Amino acid sequence: DIIHDPGRGAPLAVVHFRDPYKFKTRKELFIAPEGMYTGQFLYCGKK
């Protein structure tokens, strides 16, 4: 999801990650770059 945080100049993206150790998802906030949309798949990490 792309959300708007009052008082901040940039939109935020709520990204859900799968936890490698427990069966749950973790929710993180990122600054949404231009061109990012809801439902987009992201790659995070070394590769």
Would you kindly state where each structural domain of the chain is located, as residue ranges?
1-47
* pLDDT in 10s for each residue of the chain, 47 residues: 899 988 888 999 999 998 889 999 999 998 999 998 998 888 888 86
pTM given for the model: 0.69
Q: Residue 32: how many CB atoms within 10 A of its CB? A: 20
* pLDDT score of 26: 93
Angle at 30 between CA 7 and CA 33, to 5 degrees: 85
What does the alpha-carbon distance between residue 7 and residue 17 come to, in Å, rounded to a whole number? 26
Cβ(14)–Cβ(27) under 8 Å? Answer: yes
Amino acid at 21: Y
What does the alpha-carbon distance between residue 19 and residue 4 come to, in Å, rounded to a whole number? 26
